[in-house]
């Protein structure tokens, strides 16, 4: 797997396909492979980049002093786009990746050509109620490690406070095994995950709402009405907030639209990119 070293540390990523660059952001205690069913369908026509963000299932710990607040991770994503020299990117988020994508669009829009937000944190729903206890837990050294121990057991992963509300389909246990192994396999990864968790809070995204309302690039909001963590009305609200947004419904799905409805999700993203051409940036207008 390719990797690149940024100021914050080393980031692993996958980069397949050709065409316009599309970057996919995943959620908490996950990695970029979450998006594989959609990437497999889009890669014949688009260049698909899936970084493993430092959200608890990454393999290489970040530098100890790296800023892993949500705004800090948004800066990491922006730095990644610069380091890979990606321009007019279609940035796609899901779960916590949707929160990060919003912050990139609000604060680092220079290399973003389009934005796609699927089910994830919006407004003050950061984190959802089932996961709010993790925030104070993460502030006690070693306690997050103990709290997440049950995730080693496949039966426990169906709990609402684990992966249980994310999908209508059977959980991809082999993939989750890798994520949990990454978390428990390195003290630095657990340290990074605790830092991320301590940064959750109801004002993190609210502080960016006004700036997000000035984001003038084409935006697709694709939310599932059946999601039990991220309300569909938040998708409606954010679509009203953003000047060039359109809302699409993903039926028979929960948060993981790329797993529950991979064909529809890939179709929506592909048609959105094709129907919203973006001009190439003038030479010399982008700077690190």
What pLDDT digit, counting tens, does each position of 19-49 carry?
999 999 999 999 999 999 999 999 999 999 9
Per-residue pLDDT of 53-65, as tens digits, reads 999 999 999 999 9
Q: State how far the Cα of 212 lies from the Cα of 102, in Å rounded to an integer.
A: 7
Band of residue 287 on the pLDDT scale cut at 50, 70, 90: very low
Strands 112-120 and 47-51: unpaired
- What are the pLDDT digits (tens) for 102-155? 999 999 999 999 999 999 999 999 999 999 999 999 999 999 999 999 999 999
Q: How many CB atoms lie within 10 A of CB 171?
A: 17
Distance, CA of 130 to CA of 14 (rounded, Å): 31
Secondary structure (3-state) at 64: coil
- What number of residues does the chain have? 288
Annotated domain spans of the chain: 3-275
- Model pTM greater than 0.85? yes
Instruction: For domain 3-275, give the CATH number.
Output: 3.40.50.1820
């Amino acid at each position: 797997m390719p990797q690149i070293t940024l100021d914050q540390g080393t980031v692993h990523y996958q980069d397949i396909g050709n065409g316009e660059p599309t970057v996919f952001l995943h959620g908490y205690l996950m990695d970029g492979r979450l998006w594989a069913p959609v990437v497999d369908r889009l890669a014949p026509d688009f260049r698909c980049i899936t970084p493993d963000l430092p959200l608890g299932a990454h393999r290489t710990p970040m530098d100890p002093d790296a800023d892993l607040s949500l705004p800090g991770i948004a800066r990491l994503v922006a730095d990644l786009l610069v380091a890979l020299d990606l321009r007019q990117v279609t940035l796609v988020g899901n779960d916590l990746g949707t929160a990060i994508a919003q912050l990139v669009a609000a604060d680092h829009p220079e290399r973003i050509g389009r934005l796609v937000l699927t089910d994830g944190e919006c407004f003050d729903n950061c984190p959802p109620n089932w996961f709010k206890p993790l925030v104070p837990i993460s502030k006690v050294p070693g306690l997050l490690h103990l709290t997440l121990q049950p995730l080693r057991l496949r039966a426990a992963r169906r709990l609402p406070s684990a992966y249980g509300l994310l999908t209508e389909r059977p959980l991809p246990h082999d993939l989750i095994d890798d994520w949990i192994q990454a978390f428990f396999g390195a003290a630095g990864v657990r340290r990074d995950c605790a830092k991320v968790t301590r940064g959750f809070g109801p004002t993190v995204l609210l502080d960016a709402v006004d700036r997000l309302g000035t984001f003038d690039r084409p935006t697709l909001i694709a939310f599932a009405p059946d999601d039990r963590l991220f309300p569909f009305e938040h998708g409606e609200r954010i679509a009203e907030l953003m000047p060039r947004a359109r809302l699409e419904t993903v039926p028979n799905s929960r948060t993981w639209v790329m797993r529950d409805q991979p064909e529809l999700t890939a179709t929506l993203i592909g048609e959105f990119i094709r129907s919203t051409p973006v001009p190439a940036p003038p030479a010399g207008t982008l700077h690190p």
